[in-house]
């Protein structure tokens, strides 16, 4: 395996995916619109706590942006045979999945940064630790892009990927401390929340924005672990499907 | 030199045996046809040879490399034109070729020249800035073929290259394929078009139900049935005859089609007399009688036991 050639393959896939699929207005608006609508509906009930929602909104934007687009891009390419074109190329399965996940990551980062701008401009949210905030946001995008890739490689159709993603996404929104602090949850739900990567995204973003007591370094390390695990599982499943 | 060497290759998809212990060789620079009806095992064989799936048993070497142990080395040396034109609709023809050249590690300093050369060869210069999705079927096939050649492969796998194309586009593409062969590129071609295989291929393998039943040159395959004339009779109405009615007719092979009956027979007069009697008995009118020299399609029918209509029906269904 030639690392330079593999990297060239990864970058080619990323560039192609961004140009062919990601930077279309409907995709960008979907990633941002959904968290805003959800936040507004909660703020109507309790307007004073909106600024506390800011880290969760950013995490949710990354979650929905990455998983939705991975589900569409990978399953669409599977259906039209375009994924097969990548499999025919002299690059490893790891590079193919990495290319797909990085494309989703860049998209997730961009729309999360747009959301970050919105919450700082309109809600008055502040980032108190920019380097750790950037790291946490990056790992949030990688981990959830890898989650989207895992879901997409395990199904055949776009609607199956979206349905399966929703089984993860919607419980995560309510379990991972975006709207309801983990401390206020029953023990069983708290344990479940600790198994979900979004919990660590919300905690690390909150710590770098609001200055809560969460251990940012530990949370980002856990997110890195999730990223690696989900990437590895995606590659394994991708390989298994070829047998 | 051997470009492709297959020994006892077997491929199962779950409980389904798609490829059953096949063996063959393709020589360097040869145009090798892989002919069979849908579900015969062609796609599974190609997928195994190009590294898209692992064989269940047996072995295969492509360009001297083992497809299981050295798939990346194999992929560097092959170009694949799949049946579906699977470039990216949103990207221009040029950008598609540039993307593929990056995937195949074409050195940056030769990329532009290589791509422009291919655009010229395939008369795509005027379409290089057009999105792939906006091209006609014929232009798409040419663009996909260009993409398969951008890294100058030694072996090209063509899966139904002319499927769905109009007559002129198909003819142009066949000329391109012949040109590649003249340049020494080995070509592995699957097609449902029997006469196309006859025109293009140096040798043809006939595959039915996962097994290769014959590998030979088109001339030799035709020669197998050359001395047996084919009697074709157009009748009306055809539906008054059943295959059982035809069992008593003295012929080596009888095929009932929507137009009439085709019979391979060494005794034309005897067969015609027997058929005329049967037609009278069933109230069928004979509208036209022809005796023709058998072609590759007839050889296919005789050797495989399948009707050419079976192939045609699938071909039309696919396109």
Q: Which of B53, B86, B103 is facing A89, going by the closest CB pair? A: B103
Q: Which of B53, B76, B90 is facing A90, going by the closest CB pair? A: B76
Residue B173 in contact with residue B149, Cβ under 8 Å? no
pLDDT at position B315:
43
User: Is A241 an interface residue toward B (CB < 8 Å)?
Assistant: no
Q: What is the mean pLDDT of chain A?
A: 89
Among B120, B138, B133, residue whose Cα is nearest residue B92: B133
Residue B161 in contact with residue B189, Cβ under 8 Å? yes
B105/A8 touch (CB, cutoff 8 Å), yes or no: yes
Number of A/B CB contacts below 8 angstroms equals 67
Q: Compute the average pLDDT of residues A217-234.
A: 96
User: Is A84 an interface residue toward B (CB < 8 Å)?
Assistant: yes
Residue B54: its chain A contacts at CB < 8 A?
242-243
Pick the CATH number of B2-223 from 3.30.830.10, 3.20.20.240, 3.40.50.300, 3.40.720.10: 3.40.50.300
Rounded CA-CA distance B238/A5 in Å is: 63
Share of chain A above pLDDT 90, in %: 54
Q: Which of B54, B82, B103 is facing A81, going by the closest CB pair? A: B82
pLDDT at position B157 over 90: yes
Share of chain B above pLDDT 70, in %: 94
User: Is B99 an interface residue toward A (CB < 8 Å)?
Assistant: yes
Rounded CA-CA distance B306/B194 in Å is: 13
User: Is B313 an interface residue toward A (CB < 8 Å)?
Assistant: no
Residue B53: its chain A contacts at CB < 8 A?
242-243
A19/B75 touch (CB, cutoff 8 Å), yes or no: no
pLDDT at position B314:
46
Interval B258-313: pLDDT, tens: 889 988 888 888 999 999 999 999 999 999 998 877 778 777 877 777 765 655 54
Q: Which range scores top for mean pLDDT: B104-118, B169-183, B291-305?
A: B104-118
- Residues in contact with B132: Cβ distance below 8 Å, sequence separation at least 6, in sequence order: B87, B88, B89, B90, B91, B92, B93, B96, B140, B143
A243/B53 touch (CB, cutoff 8 Å), yes or no: yes
User: Is A86 an interface residue toward B (CB < 8 Å)?
Assistant: yes
For residue B40, cis peptide bond before it (omega within 30 degrees of 0): no
> What pTM was estimated for this model as a whole?
0.81
Which one has a higher pLDDT value, A39 or B26? B26
- Residues in contact with A42: Cβ distance below 8 Å, sequence separation at least 6, in sequence order: A53, A179
Burial of B199 (0-12, 13-18, 19+ CB in 10 A): middle
Q: Which of A1, A2, A84 is facing B52, going by the closest CB pair? A: A84
pLDDT at position B319 over 70: no
Q: How far is CA B59 from the centre of its chain?
A: 23
Among B1, B77, B38, B34, residue whose Cα is nearest residue B200: B34
B88/A16 touch (CB, cutoff 8 Å), yes or no: yes
Residue A122 in contact with residue A206, Cβ under 8 Å? no
Domains B2-223 and B227-293 share a fold: no
Residue B91: its chain A contacts at CB < 8 A?
16, 19-20
pLDDT at position B138:
87
Nearest C-alpha in B relative to A83: B86
Q: Which of B54, B90, B103 is facing A12, going by the closest CB pair? A: B103
Strands B260-264 and B253-256 come out as antiparallel
User: Is B273 an interface residue toward A (CB < 8 Å)?
Assistant: no
Span B227-293: which CATH code?
Answer: 3.30.70
A81/B100 touch (CB, cutoff 8 Å), yes or no: no
Rounded CA-CA distance B50/B65 in Å is: 11
pLDDT at position B318 over 70: no
B91/A86 touch (CB, cutoff 8 Å), yes or no: no
Angle, vertex CA A98, rays to CA A93 and CA A103, nearest 5: 135
- Residues in contact with B207: Cβ distance below 8 Å, sequence separation at least 6, in sequence order: B22, B34, B35, B36, B40, B41, B42, B45, B213
Nearest C-alpha in B relative to A8: B102
pLDDT at position A43 over 80: no
Strands B16-27 and B155-159 come out as unpaired
Residue B89: its chain A contacts at CB < 8 A?
20
pLDDT at position A46 over 70: no
Domain ranges of chain B: 2-223, 227-293
A19/B82 touch (CB, cutoff 8 Å), yes or no: no
Contacts 24+ apart (CB under 8 A), A123-127: A123/A50, A123/A51, A123/A53, A123/A54, A124/A51, A125/A51, A125/A54, A125/A55, A125/A209, A126/A209, A127/A208, A127/A209
Residue B103: its chain A contacts at CB < 8 A?
9, 12-13, 86, 89-91
Share of chain A above pLDDT 70, in %: 93
DSSP string for residues in chain B: -EEEEEEEEEEEETTEEEEEEEEEEEETT-EEEEE--TTSSHHHHHHHHTTSS--SEEEEEETTEETTT-HHHHHHHEEEE-SS--S-TTSBHHHHHHHHHHHTT--HHHHHHHHHHHHHHTT-GGGTTSBGGGS-HHHHHHHHHHHHHTT--SEEEEESTTTT--HHHHHHHHHHHHHHHHTT-EEEEEES-HHHHHHH-SEEEEEETTEEEEEE-HHHHHHHHTTS-EEEEEEE-GGG--TTGGGGS--SEEEE-SSEEEEE-S-HHHHHHHHHHHHHHHT-EEEEEEEE---HHHHHHHHH---HHHHHHHHHHH-
Among A77, A201, A111, residue whose Cα is nearest residue A147: A201
Interval B192-243: pLDDT, tens: 788 888 889 999 999 988 999 999 999 888 877 666 788 899 999 988 899 8
Which one has a higher pLDDT value, B68 or A28? B68
Residue B95: its chain A contacts at CB < 8 A?
19
Interval B26-73: pLDDT, tens: 999 999 999 888 888 888 999 999 999 999 999 999 999 999 999 999
Interval A145-196: pLDDT, tens: 999 999 999 998 888 888 888 888 888 888 988 888 888 889 999 999 999 9
User: Is A76 an interface residue toward B (CB < 8 Å)?
Assistant: no
Rounded CA-CA distance B290/A95 in Å is: 61
Q: Which of B75, B87, B88 is facing A89, going by the closest CB pair? A: B75
Among B301, B231, B243, residue whose Cα is nearest residue B273: B231
- What tokens were used for A202? 């919300």
Interval B243-270: pLDDT, tens: 899 989 999 888 888 889 988 888 888 9
pLDDT at position B310:
59
Q: What is the mean pLDDT of chain B?
A: 88
B72/A91 touch (CB, cutoff 8 Å), yes or no: yes
First-last CA distance in chain A: 21
H or E element in which residue A153 lies: helix A130-153
User: Is A242 an interface residue toward B (CB < 8 Å)?
Assistant: yes
DSSP state of A75: H
């Amino acid at each position: 395996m030639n690392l330079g050639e593999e990297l060239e393959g990864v970058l080619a896939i990323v560039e192609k995916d961004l140009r062919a699929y990601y930077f279309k207005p409907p995709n960008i608006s979907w990633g941002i619109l959904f968290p805003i609508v959800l936040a507004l509906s909660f703020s109507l009930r309790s307007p004073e706590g909106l600024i506390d929602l800011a880290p969760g909104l950013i995490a949710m934007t990354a979650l929905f942006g990455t998983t939705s687009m991975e589900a569409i891009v990978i399953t669409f390419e599977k259906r039209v045979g375009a994924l097969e074109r990548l499999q025919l190329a002299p690059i490893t399965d790891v590079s193919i999945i990495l290319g797909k996940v990085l494309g989703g990551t860049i998209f997730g980062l961009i729309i999360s940064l747009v959301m970050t701008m919105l919450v700082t401009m309109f809600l008055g949210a502040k980032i108190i630790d920019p380097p750790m905030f950037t790291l946490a946001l990056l790992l949030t995008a990688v981990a959830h892009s890898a989650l989207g890739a895992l879901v997409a490689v395990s199904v055949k159709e776009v609607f199956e990927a979206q349905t399966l993603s929703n089984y993860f996404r919607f419980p995560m929104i309510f379990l991972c401390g975006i709207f309801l602090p983990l401390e206020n949850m029953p023990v069983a739900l708290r344990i479940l929340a600790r198994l979900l990567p979004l919990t660590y995204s919300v905690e690390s973003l909150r710590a770098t924005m609001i200055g809560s007591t969460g251990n940012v370094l530990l949370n980002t390390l856990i997110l890195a672990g999730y990223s690696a695990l989900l990437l590895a599982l995606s590659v394994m499943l991708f390989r298994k499907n070829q047998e | 030199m051997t470009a492709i060497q297959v020994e006892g290759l077997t491929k199962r998809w779950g409980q389904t045996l798609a490829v059953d212990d096949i063996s063959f060789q393709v020589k360097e620079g040869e145009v090798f046809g892989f002919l069979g009806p849908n579900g015969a095992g062609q796609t599974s064989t190609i997928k195994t040879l190009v590294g898209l799936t692992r064989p269940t048993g047996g072995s295969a070497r492509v360009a001297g490399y083992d497809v299981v142990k050295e798939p990346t080395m194999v992929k560097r040396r092959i170009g694949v034109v799949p049946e579906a034109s699977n470039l990216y609709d949103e990207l221009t023809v040029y950008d598609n070729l540039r993307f593929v050249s990056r995937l195949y590690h074409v050195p940056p300093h030769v990329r532009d020249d290589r791509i422009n050369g291919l655009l010229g060869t395939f008369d795509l210069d005027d379409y290089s800035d057009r999105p792939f999705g906006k091209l006609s079927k014929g232009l798409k096939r040419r663009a996909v073929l260009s993409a398969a050649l951008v890294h100058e492969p030694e072996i090209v796998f063509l899966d139904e290259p002319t499927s769905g194309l109009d007559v002129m586009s198909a003819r142009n593409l066949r000329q391109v394929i012949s040109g590649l062969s003249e340049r020494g590129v080995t070509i592995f071609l699957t097609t449902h078009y029997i006469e196309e295989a006859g025109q293009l291929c140096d040798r043809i393998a006939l595959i039915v139900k996962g097994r290769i039943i014959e590998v030979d040159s088109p001339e030799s395959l035709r020669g197998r049935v050359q001395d047996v004339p084919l009697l074709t009779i157009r009748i009306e109405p055809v539906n008054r005859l059943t295959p059982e009615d035809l069992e008593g007719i003295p012929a080596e092979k009888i095929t009932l089609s929507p137009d009439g009956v085709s019979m391979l027979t060494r005794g034309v007069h005897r067969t015609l007399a027997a058929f005329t009697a049967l037609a009278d008995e069933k109230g069928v009118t004979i509208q036209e009688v022809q005796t023709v020299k058998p072609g590759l399609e007839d050889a296919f029918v005789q050797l495989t036991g399948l009707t050419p209509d079976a192939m045609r029906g699938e071909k039309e269904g696919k396109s």
